[in-house]
């Protein structure tokens, strides 16, 4: 086995950082921050737990790709055509709704810096910028840009949380803290965990990014896992930081917390300015915009890759084991156009669509986690790793079953 060096690890960095850029979007900026704003510090352990228990299923995808030298899409196809069809249908729904959602949220944040333009126009400008990056620079530019975005985002977010901590004022003595441990909060918890740190389908997307990275440089198993672990645990850490931002700035406020993603992001930025000073709105707005612009880029690129690869396998245009190619212009443009149409004609329904997509992402997590586990069992796996995976499967399945049970009873 080729030894891992500092140089080889730095050279292999890319897919894990892009994964992190995709994760630190709606799940962190909205779901994590809302958790802190609504419930203070009460959910911080749950957010950490779901990151820990989902970890092995994303790691399995990286190991499978590097050892078998084929994407997770190929592995799904080997398991059965019906599995790949199910995955593709879920991906089509997620690709269109998620593209519209992250694009709209990015545009709302951009409006802080360009107030004279409507959100619709800003959606178009953001979309054009993303298309130029992806269609001209392809994977190499996405790789480099994601590293810059994540570095700036991490530093700026840490500065913001330190400022919030210094300006923090304890809640009033008569404030009654709401509890997340009641049935009415279950739908919120399930939606939050569905996208924490990212939907499970991003394990397949990460697999394809890894295949693209291997065309640029040699990536050993040790170096590939180092890249993934760095991206994943930075993502988990930032999830806790965003909980802190919500808890320090909004928790205990007499202003009702907006639940719609774009409204909440704008409210959060405004409340930051109120608590610390109007100048801070631009720092927090910049952080939020970086979050969402990076996510928009990765959503457009990642889902297009999986849709193209799935189509090629299902239409028998590709032999199993053949390496993945970059997504064609048509897939990216088609996905972008579908997302823009949703914004133009169904903007008022986008909030419920996103909640639905987040809930579906969680309910399907146990299935795709199980298939990732099955693929990984083809490789060498320690007993402790198997027990770890089973703990995650039991936890994720238990929450999904509980949600469906109470939903069918009409109590949610």
pLDDT in tens, 183-212: 888 888 887 887 788 888 889 989 998 988
In a domain, 1, yes or no: no
In a domain, 301, yes or no: yes
Q: What is the mean pLDDT of residues 15-38?
A: 84
Domain count for the chain, please give it.
1
In a domain, 81, yes or no: yes
In a domain, 373, yes or no: no
Q: In whole angstroms, what is the distance from residue 378 CA to residue 67 CA?
A: 10
Q: Which residue has the higher pLDDT, 10 or 117?
A: 117
- Bond before 100 cis per omega within 30 degrees: no
pLDDT bracket for residue 412 (50, 70, 90)? low
Q: In whole angstroms, what is the distance from residue 40 CA to residue 189 CA?
A: 14
In a domain, 299, yes or no: yes
In a domain, 399, yes or no: no
pLDDT on residue 262: 65
Q: Is the pLDDT of residue 102 over 80?
A: yes
In a domain, 374, yes or no: no
> Would you report the helix, strand and coil content of the chain in percent, each value rounded to 5?
80, 0, 20
pLDDT in tens, 143-173: 888 888 888 888 888 888 888 888 888 877 7
pLDDT on residue 325: 47
Q: Which residue has the higher pLDDT, 328 or 310?
A: 310
Which pTM value belongs to this model? 0.87
Q: Is the pLDDT of residue 379 over 90?
A: no
If phi over 0 gives left and psi between -120 and 50 gives alpha, with beta otherwise, what is residue 178?
A: beta
Residue of 294, 339, 305, 343 lying closest to 133 (CA atoms): 294
Cα-based distances in Å from 320 to 79, 196, 221, 324, 368:
11, 31, 21, 10, 19
pLDDT bracket for residue 322 (50, 70, 90)? low
pLDDT in tens, 43-76: 999 999 999 999 999 999 999 999 998 899 999 9
pLDDT bracket for residue 318 (50, 70, 90)? low
Q: What angle do CA 98, 309, 103 make, to 5 degrees?
A: 20
Here the tokens at position 291 are 């979050």
Q: What are phi and psi of 258, to 5 degrees?
A: -70, 140
Q: Which residue has the higher pLDDT, 202 or 262?
A: 202
pLDDT bracket for residue 21 (50, 70, 90)? confident
Q: Is the pLDDT of residue 317 over 90?
A: no
Q: Is the pLDDT of residue 395 over 70?
A: yes
Q: Is the pLDDT of residue 11 over 90?
A: no
- CATH (domain of 33): 1.20.1740.10
Boundaries of domain holding 145: 6-366
In a domain, 400, yes or no: no
Q: Is the pLDDT of residue 128 over 90?
A: yes
Q: Is the pLDDT of residue 282 over 70?
A: yes
């Amino acid at each position: 086995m080729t030894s891992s060096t500092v140089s080889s690890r730095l050279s292999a960095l890319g897919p894990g950082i892009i994964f992190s850029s995709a994760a630190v979007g709606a799940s962190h900026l909205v779901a994590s921050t809302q958790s802190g704003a609504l419930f203070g510090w009460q959910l911080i352990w749950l957010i950490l737990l779901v990151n820990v228990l989902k970890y092995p299923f994303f790691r399995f995808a990286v190991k499978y790709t590097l050892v078998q030298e084929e994407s997770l899409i190929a592995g799904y196809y080997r398991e059965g055509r019906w599995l790949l069809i199910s995955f593709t249908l879920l991906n089509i729904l997620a690709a269109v709704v998620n593209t519209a959602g992250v694009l709209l949220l990015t545009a709302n944040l951009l409006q802080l810096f360009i107030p004279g333009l409507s959100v619709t126009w800003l959606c178009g400008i953001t979309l054009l910028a993303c298309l130029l990056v992806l269609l001209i620079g392809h994977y190499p530019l996405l790789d480099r840009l994601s590293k810059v975005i994540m570095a700036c985002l991490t530093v700026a977010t840490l500065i913001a949380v330190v400022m919030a901590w210094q300006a923090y004022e304890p809640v009033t003595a008569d404030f009654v803290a709401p509890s997340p441990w009641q049935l009415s909060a279950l739908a919120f918890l399930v939606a939050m965990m569905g996208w924490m740190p990212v939907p499970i389908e991003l394990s397949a997307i990460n697999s394809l990014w890894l295949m693209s990275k291997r065309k640029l440089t040699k990536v050993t198993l040790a170096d590939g896992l180092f890249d993934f672990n760095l991206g994943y645990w930075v993502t988990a850490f930032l999830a806790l930081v965003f909980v802190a931002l919500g808890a320090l700035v909004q928790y205990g406020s007499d202003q009702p917390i907006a639940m719609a993603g774009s409204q909440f992001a704008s409210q959060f930025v405004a409340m930051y300015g109120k608590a610390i000073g109007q100048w801070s709105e631009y720092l927090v707005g910049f952080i939020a915009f970086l979050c969402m612009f990076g996510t928009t880029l990765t959503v457009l690129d990642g889902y297009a890759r999986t849709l193209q690869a799935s189509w090629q396998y299902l239409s028998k245009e590709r032999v199993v084991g053949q390496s993945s190619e970059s997504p064609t212009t048509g897939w990216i443009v088609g996905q972008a156009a579908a997302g823009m149409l949703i914004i133009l004609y169904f903007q008022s329904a986008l909030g419920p669509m996103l909640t639905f997509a987040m809930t579906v992402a969680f309910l399907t997590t146990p299935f795709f986690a199980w298939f990732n586990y099955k693929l990984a069992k083809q490789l060498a796996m320690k007993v402790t790793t198997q027990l770890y995976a089973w703990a995650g499967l039991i936890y994720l399945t238990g929450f999904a079953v509980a949600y469906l049970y109470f939903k069918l009873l009409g109590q949610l």
